[in-house]
Amino acid sequence: MTETDNRPFALRKYNAEQLKTALYKMHLIRLFEEGAEDSYTRGLIHGTMHLSIGQEASAVASCMPLSDSDYITSTHRGHGHCIGKGADVKRMFAEFFGKEDGYCHGRGGSMHIADITKNNLGANGIVGASTPLGVGAAMAAQVRGSDAVTIAFSTDGASNNGTFLESLNLAAIWNLNFILIVENNQYAVSTTLAEATRETELYKRGEAIGVESHRIDGNDSLLVYETVSDAVKKCRAGLGPILIEAVTFRHSGHHVNDPGKYMPEEKLKYYKDRDPVDRARDNLIKMGKATKEEVAAIEAEIEAEFEAAVVAAKAAGEVSVEEFREFVAEY
């Protein structure tokens, strides 16, 4: 077990490219989520969505040790996971806008984006579904004789679902290359973790069934990367599965229509003061891997790319009414 903020950590191990990649994707997720919320409030996006502002580190740093041959399964709060695994933000926004160029051809919306070319098996709106789906992907890889690793992103809210422990137990019995990352943002909608379970340190659930388990600061991108990298190596060596509880905090309500008034102001301030994107930026500068001017240039480039992607998504072709009717008729 590894306690939050209590693990030796050698910052010098990280090269400039790794740190720039982390900042690039985390800053992109932040822009993406802010842009999605803005488009929603202006009536350009229909159907609700769940933003991951404040949780960028766990999404990006968890995916960085993976290759395209490795798998992820995601949650209802899955935009960051998709971007972390290499999704095209233009196609993601095209999906939001109901355009044919979207990942689901404009038919799935926010909670159903998947990119099979990257082995991103997708987000879904069923709480807790990512764990059994991830175990299934890991089992399929084992049957094929592949050393591919599967990461299933889950949540504190999903940890009380029966599928959570049942699936993890199966992964343990079968020694699967499976990593369960529990993004503990401390709220299931408006219900605190302490209101839902007596034991609030969720990594202990893995330990109870003999699964190597860790509890870490999910807003520290370097610590997340180090922990997940170690877990990936162990899985490829046949030492899986592994559970990682990444303690984090969302900066807004459960979804875009939720003002989050139930979240204590002092707690929100605590986590905003430890913003994961700010910390990734500071890592680059403090470790001498980039100057403030170079970081500003990187972020300006990301912002220009993002704005161009949104413009292109808006200009993408509309879904054909006839094709959509045919699609609906098939189901």
Give the whole-angstrom CA distance, residue 74 versus residue 114. Answer: 9
Tokens of 187: 């709220």
User: What CATH number was assigned to the domain covering residues 13-324?
Assistant: 3.40.50.970
Beta partners for 215? 245
d(CA 129, CA 43): 29
Count other Cβ atoms within 10 Å, centred on residue 104: 15
Q: In this predicted structure, what is the pLDDT of residue 107?
A: 86
Encode burial over 56-66: b for 16+ CB neighbours within 10 A, e otherwise: bbbbbbbbbbb
Contacts of 195 (CB under 8 A, 6+ apart): none
Query: For residue 321, what pLDDT is reported?
Result: 74
Q: What is the pLDDT along the chain (331 residues), one digit of tens a residue?
A: 544 444 334 445 677 888 889 999 999 999 999 999 999 998 888 888 999 999 999 999 999 999 999 999 999 999 999 999 999 999 999 999 999 999 998 888 889 999 999 999 999 889 999 999 999 999 999 999 999 999 999 999 999 999 999 999 999 999 999 999 999 999 999 999 999 999 999 999 999 999 999 999 999 999 999 999 999 999 999 999 999 999 999 999 999 988 999 999 999 999 999 999 999 999 888 888 888 999 999 999 999 999 999 999 999 888 777 777 776 777 6
Rounded to two decimals, the pTM is 0.91
Question: Which residues in 162-194 are b (16+ Cβ under 10 Å) and which e?
Answer: ebbbebbbbbbeeebbbbbbbbbbbbbeeeebe
Q: What is the DSSP string of 250-266?
A: -SS-SSTT---TTS-HH
What distance in Å separates the CA atoms of residue 268 and residue 107, rounded to the nearest whole number?
35
- Residue type at position 251: H
Q: Residue 257 class from Cβ within 10 Å (0-12 exposed, 13-18 middle, 19+ buried)?
A: exposed
Question: Residue 99, SS3?
Answer: strand
Query: What tokens does 195 get?
Result: 């209101």
Give Cα separations from 51 to 59, 120, 146, 158, 227 (angstroms). 12, 19, 34, 17, 24
Name which of 231, 227, 283 is nearest 26 in CA terms: 283
> What pLDDT is recorded for position 12?
52
Dig out the tokens for 160 from the structure: 């009380």
Q: What is the dihedral of CA 74, 80, 82, 86, to 10 degrees?
A: -140
Q: What is the reported pLDDT for 325?
A: 77
Peptide bond between residue 241 and the one before it cis (omega within 30 degrees of 0): yes
